Amino acid sequence: MTTNRSLLVELFVEELPPKSLKKLGDSFAELLVASLKSQGLAANEVAATAYASPRRLAVHITDVAGKAADKSVSQKLMPVAVGLDANSQATPALLKKLASLGADDSAVAELKRAMDGKTEALFFDSVVKGATLAEGLQRAIDEVLAKLPIAKVMTYPNPSGNGWETVNFVRPVHGLVALHGAEVVPVSVLGLAAGRKTRGHRFEAAVSHVVIRDADSYEAQMEMEGAVIPGFAKRRAEIAKQLAAASAKEHLTPIADDALLDEVTALVERPNVLAGKFEREFLEVPQECLILTMKANQKYFPLLDSKGKLTNKFLIVSNISPDDPSLVIGGNERVVRPRLADAKFFFDQDRKKTLESRVLGLAKVVYHNKLGTQGERVQRVCAIAKAIGQQLGGDTLAMQAEQAALLAKADLLTDMVGEFPELQGTMGRYYAQHDGLSDDIAFAIEDHYKPRFAGDELPRNMVGVCVALADKLETLVGMFGIGQIPTGDKDPFALRRHALGVIRMLIEKELPLGLDGLLVEAMQPFGGVITDASVQIKNFIYERVKFYLSIESLDEQAMAELSSNSQFYSANANLRAAFTPLQIDAVLSVLPQYLSDVQKRLMAVRAFSVLPEANALAAANKRVGNILKKEGMGAKVDAVNSKLLQEPAEQTLHQALLQIAPKAEAAFAAGDYSTSLQALAALRVPVDAFFENVMVMVDDKDLRTNRLALLQDLRMAMNRVADISKLAT
């Protein structure tokens, strides 16, 4: 087996966990290829095809060598002074080292001398035999099984054991195929020796065992003889094609759900899409409930009409293709009917009590052992929402926000949410509308959980914004206040998501709410139950703002989520792409109270940064900051005494500041950040002259203090919009 040929490796197993199948298949292929490459059995440019079906993990790799090439290795032994004596004879230490490498005394004459740093050392050249494919593949398979992302393994009897020995894998393995071209590679795994036989579809395979002729015929043989589409992506595409065709016959559209499509792909080996239906009376139940029970419990694809409304038809992805599918369809219709009947029963029962009547029951539901019950939490959220509403819309909005906050968690005590926790908020909206409450209140109840993930939509109305802000701020303040702060990748209370939700609402809704004021309002309802962690929370929020503004921080999944919400993406993709990390850092370094004006500040900084004076002023600002920091003058303590300004350059700078600073301050107060920053351009000449002609750290204490005060005035004038020293490169 010295010729390069294609390699096929397949593990035939019992049904694998569907939600992790794709990841297992990809990892199996990637890890096996990586190991073969590291051993020199596969080149970097080989093509690998991963296969993953409910009962198999496999990989096909092109151009795999039967034996790795031998390698010449030069190994450092020891310094010459240690290995050779005064007569250039080998020392016992050198002879012992050579023996450990399988060499005898004759190898001494072949040793090479070379400088290793400042020391001359002895080097031993040898040839390491390349691994055979059997050796390398065995090593690769063992490594792969040890590294596969398996959450929980099963223990089962070793197939080649005596009944007492056991092996571990995600599911019991019943077969191993390993073919290099048409030759079986003699490897073993989990008590099974490699061969060329595997099994196809449980019910529809043309033969009991599929005998793989060679590595390249695997996929075709599995499809023809085994009635299995082994490739995950190909099987998924086939399901999507059949779903589209079946729904088109009904002039309807299947619900879009990539996670469901992935899961169904992992449940079938040869898909066959069939159409079923249920009684129209079930459509009286909110469609979210019906859709969820069909998707989560039955893995069906509900069908929607042209207006996005649920119909009484659904699609089934079957794993068998009988000549008469009526029994399969009828069986699925019988199975789904009790599920829908349960949902209808829950909905009918829940509407017998108003949301308001359920609020008192929240006092019996523990929220957190240090933060009390859900009832106590609701009272805190009510107080915060009312305060926010008062600031944003006066008494009317405050009253609506308080009412919505009071009812927002009441649906947690309903039967429907008890059965389907994913519907919290959604069912609250339906029940609020049934109780005769306004849409403002009903939608706020549903929306107060938003945004729930990156790219999710924001609350639809201002009542919802008030309650959503209050809910998230209460969580942040409460959890930080009892020391539950996210660390590393651990964030059990989703505080990063809550902070990002607050940030998005403040920025995208352009809310005139100061961060300090919000944290004060959020702290008050807790009384003395928690400690004040406002500083930590603010730092945490500003870090999340940096994440929000930096497109480099978004991984592919987050970008996909952002792109899936066109309104959010179009509103913010340009914002993220338009500003550099230095510009973002400059704005956030001054800790702007109103996140709603962060974008305006960034635009002003961007405009300032292209001015010819920008680099010099940024460098000067950085120098000023370093001087003041060194002297411990973080806060303004003294006014500049004009009588102590002796040098013309400092007098000129002082006069320039007296003229320019008020203009910049007025523009800043008016929210015209670009004008405020650009006014500072006129300071470049006097600033340059000051540092060129004036010694700040003179021996005279009064002169030194006065010049430091002048630098403080300069830094304060320059850093109102942003800390422009951050722009210095």
* Banded model confidence at residue 562, pLDDT cuts 50, 70, 90: very low
What the block records as the tokens of 669 is: 């107060």
Q: Among 45-49, 487-491, 583-587, which is the least confidently predicted range?
A: 487-491
Please state the rounded mean pLDDT for residues 492-513.
95
* Separation of alpha carbons 98 and 107, rounded Å: 8
Please tell me the predicted confidence (pLDDT) of residue 634.
Answer: 54
Please tell me the predicted confidence (pLDDT) of residue 571.
Answer: 44
What the block records as the tokens of 360 is: 């008192």
The residue among 694, 705, 686, 701 whose CA lies nearest residue 628 is 705
Please tell me the predicted confidence (pLDDT) of residue 559.
Answer: 45
Map residue 489 onto helix, strand or coil: coil
* Separation of alpha carbons 716 and 712, rounded Å: 6
* Residue 409 pLDDT exceeds 60: yes
Please state the rounded mean pLDDT for residues 116-122.
85
Q: What is the pLDDT of residues 63-89, one digit of tens each?
A: 999 888 877 777 888 888 888 888 888
Q: How does strand 366-368 pair with strand 372-373?
A: antiparallel
The residue among 363, 567, 371 whose CA lies nearest residue 450 is 567
> Which class does domain 599-727 fall in?
mainly alpha
Kindly report the three-state secondary structure assignment for every residue of 61-104. EEEECCECCCEEEEEEEEEHHHHECCCCCECHHHHHHHHHCCCC
* Residue 629 pLDDT exceeds 60: yes
CB proximity list for 166: less than 8 A, separation 6 or greater: 155, 156, 157, 158
Please state the rounded mean pLDDT for residues 694-720.
87
Please tell me the predicted confidence (pLDDT) of residue 587.
Answer: 94
Residue 183 CB-half CA count within 13 A: 14
* Residue 457 pLDDT exceeds 90: yes
Fold of 363-578: Hypothetical protein af1432 (1.10.3210)
Please tell me the predicted confidence (pLDDT) of residue 108.
Answer: 80
* Banded model confidence at residue 563, pLDDT cuts 50, 70, 90: very low
Please state the rounded mean pLDDT for residues 673-697.
89
* Separation of alpha carbons 151 and 170, rounded Å: 8
* Residue 239 pLDDT exceeds 70: yes
Q: How does strand 183-184 pair with strand 188-189?
A: unpaired
Please tell me the predicted confidence (pLDDT) of residue 560.
Answer: 46
User: Looking at per-residue confidence, does 209 or 623 come out higher?
Assistant: 209
Residue 412 CB-half CA count within 13 A: 19
CB proximity list for 589: less than 8 A, separation 6 or greater: 722, 723, 726
Please state the rounded mean pLDDT for residues 27-41.
94
* Residue 122 pLDDT exceeds 90: no
DSSP 452: -
Q: Among 318-322, 526-530, 556-560, 581-585, which is the least confidently predicted range?
A: 556-560
Please tell me the predicted confidence (pLDDT) of residue 554.
Answer: 43
Which backbone phi and psi does 312 adopt, to 5 degrees? -95, 25
